Structure 1
Amino acid sequence: MPIFEFKCSECGHVFEKLFRDSNEEVTLQCPQCQSPHLERVISRVSYQMGTRGKGPKITTKSCGPGNTCATIEIPGRYD
């Protein structure tokens, strides 16, 4: 059962929607202003697997004047 996050293009409200079935038919609208103009946003996650006390390694670097980029290495197996 995936949870997706949406942002209203009209009022900027961000909300989540739980989908119980992949065949579920829904009409999405903003719960705050009822606008159907939504965009899906990427949610932040906090997930660690097989870390044994180690957290993710975050490396940042400059990506141009006033900008930084980050790379996140999540410990675990990648088979």
Structure 2
Amino acid sequence: MAGVPGLVAKDGAEGTFAAALPEGSAVAVKVLDGGMRPLPVVVADALRVLGAAVPDDVGRRAVLGGGEPVGEIRPVRG
């Protein structure tokens, strides 16, 4: 998330992450199973929803099988 100007962020144990933007918007995420793998994808999408200028490559995560891409992790808004 270094590409987001003014972002203050902290990850924690058991799949938790919090981030705040300079104008006061903030997001907190908890992955129920404690996994860390989806956090960059979810947080990048949440920051985009808040209007942050998140570079397109931030939050993209390929899923590898045998060292080759076999899928990707994508946010789903509900």
TM-score by length of 1: 0.23
Higher relative helix content: 2
TM-score by length of 2: 0.23
